[in-house]
Amino acid sequence: MKPLLALLAAWCVVSCAKKDVRPPQVSTPAPGFTLFVSAGVKGYLGPCGCSENMRGGITRAAAQVALAKAFGHPVLYFDAGDTLFGQAQLPAEAVPQQERKARTLTEAMKAMGLSAKANGPLDDAQGAAFRASLALPELPDNQPRTFEAGGFPLTVVSGPWSPSLVEAVSKARASGAAWVLVLLQEDWRTALRNVDDSLEADAVVVARPGEGAAAEENRMLRRKVPLFSLQDKGRSLLRLDVHPQSDGRFELLAAGAETERELKGLDQRVELLKAQVNEPMLAPELLALRKAKLEEIIARREALAATPAQWPAGKNTFTARFVPLESSLPTDPAIDALVTAYDKDVGAMNVAWAKTHSPLCPPSVDAMPRYVGNTQCQQCHADAFKVWGESKHAAAYATLENKGKNFHLDCVGCHVVGFKKPGGVCRIDEVAGRDHVGCESCHGPGSRHAEDTDDSSIAKGDDAHTCQKCHDQENSPHFNFKEYLAKIIGPGHGQPTNATKK
């Protein structure tokens, strides 16, 4: 097949099923090769879908790799570690689901042509034997491995910052490594403090972005040994296009200053539009309108970022760009099938586990209030109940059922009342009367108050902290207490019953 036809055919495989995805810009493939790097995937196959237009997903990552391959020049894919699990220690009930997920991720990455994978502490949650059972192309610390990309040798080394790492890279150089990528097993701060010109690498991917805000963004530091760190949970990829033209060190090309400014402007518009798309309880027409606009801006950003660089002749150069895996990007049908199979298995697995193990809840303590469920509250607070019934909270469990994810341990906790707490949901398949986000999700366990209404153990729940147990950065990134509160109160629930509408 001609390269152009091959490209369009491959593009079609990943995106023709989806409307409104424009074909990629077709340009003459530049000489050289392309590398993709993922880091800190933390056991994420994809986002939960709790908010509109969430980033991420292994199926979107796979589609990006497939599109690049369609250009006809070599594409290699590496993973920097902390991939298989989200926690270093798993609660017993989560083990079947998390292991199944790690296997699915592994299969997907192999299907993407994974060349090598470094190890982080999160890869070891189930021990080295489990890791070995996955038969991943692992990259042991401080042991350079050389790969061939269209006849060009490129070397990859992983490890924490240490003299051994620096030495391993120097040795690789001395024995002819032409391009060296380091997957540094450190956080961004440690990398900034330590990495200097003694490390003879062309690019360093900092494998552990750190916690909190640090893991939210993609970062690049241009300098002699450029540093990159990726947004975690599989939300972005790093793409490096390498263009060997001569001997000598490779220079990281800047996109034109104007292009960079324009990209930054588009990124800001994307963030702003995402906040507008996620305003609580938007009318469907307005939501559709805003989503269309958002997708348009994302497509513009994609096109601009894909504009080929001007490769200076006779010089060794490379370009770097992050690929945020926005929800409007195409998916890969083969990987979609893997994820669907996982989704289907998990429910049955978790229910089977629940039937053969003791309840998830700790024993209740006599003096402490227990969860009792909405029906008791309704008897005395009919008006509040009515207001609640009109909020989205009253359908939170149905949301999971509609997605076939009500037995997923990753999901159920925030979509029911009192998960793993006395009187709450103590078995994943026994949620009657505790389904949805109920009164006690905000007001706390109510057994004592229901018996004695003077009891002060019922919480007012009128602070942002109450909400943010569930409306956290990941699931509700645009949460705003004032705006959200206004949507859950009404006559008899935080407002006088005879309130006249303003």
Give the binding site for ligand HEC (CB under 6 A): 48-51, 280-281, 372, 374, 376-377, 379-381, 384-385, 388, 392-393, 395-396, 399-400, 403, 405, 408, 410-411, 413-415, 437-443, 446, 449-450, 453, 458, 460-462, 466-467, 469-472, 475-476, 479, 484-485, 487-489, 493-494
Q: Which is nearer to ligand HEC, 32 or 492 (CB)?
A: 492
Write down the least CB distance from residue 215 to ligand HEC, Å. 16
Spatial separation of the C-alpha atoms in residues 126 and 449, rounded to whole Å: 43
Spatial separation of the C-alpha atoms in residues 194 and 171, rounded to whole Å: 20
Tokens 């009318």 identify what position?
A: 283
Spatial separation of the C-alpha atoms in residues 363 and 372, rounded to whole Å: 15
Q: Are 153 and 178 in contact (CB under 8 A)?
A: yes
Q: Which is nearer to ligand HEC, 164 or 402 (CB)?
A: 402
Q: Which is nearer to ligand HEC, 136 or 425 (CB)?
A: 425
Tokens 């009128």 identify what position?
A: 462
Write down the least CB distance from residue 417 to ligand HEC, Å. 7
Q: Are 202 and 172 in contact (CB under 8 A)?
A: no
Q: Which is nearer to ligand HEC, 62 or 417 (CB)?
A: 417
Spatial separation of the C-alpha atoms in residues 363 and 376, rounded to whole Å: 22
Write down the least CB distance from residue 224 to ligand HEC, Å. 42
Write down the least CB distance from residue 291 to ligand HEC, Å. 12
Write down the least CB distance from residue 265 to ligand HEC, Å. 26
Q: Which is nearer to ligand HEC, 164 or 379 (CB)?
A: 379
Q: Which is nearer to ligand HEC, 3 or 280 (CB)?
A: 280
Spatial separation of the C-alpha atoms in residues 476 and 403, rounded to whole Å: 18
| Three-point CA angle 111, 114, 115, nearest 5° | 145
Write down the least CB distance from residue 257 to ligand HEC, Å. 37
Write down the least CB distance from residue 29 to ligand HEC, Å. 38
Write down the least CB distance from residue 199 to ligand HEC, Å. 39
Q: What is the token pair recorded at 69? A: 């391959």
Q: Are 292 and 204 in contact (CB under 8 A)?
A: no
Write down the least CB distance from residue 271 to ligand HEC, Å. 16
Longest CA pairwise span in the chain (Å): 84
CA distances from 17 to 12, 22, 231, 497 (A): 8, 12, 28, 51
Spatial separation of the C-alpha atoms in residues 262 and 297, rounded to whole Å: 12
Q: Are 49 and 287 in contact (CB under 8 A)?
A: no
Spatial separation of the C-alpha atoms in residues 343 and 55, rounded to whole Å: 19
Q: What is the token pair recorded at 162? A: 């240490």
Spatial separation of the C-alpha atoms in residues 83 and 372, rounded to whole Å: 39
Which residue of the chain is nearest ligand HEC when measured via CB?
A: 446
Q: Which is nearer to ligand HEC, 322 or 397 (CB)?
A: 397
Q: Which is nearer to ligand HEC, 192 or 281 (CB)?
A: 281
Q: Which is nearer to ligand HEC, 118 or 411 (CB)?
A: 411
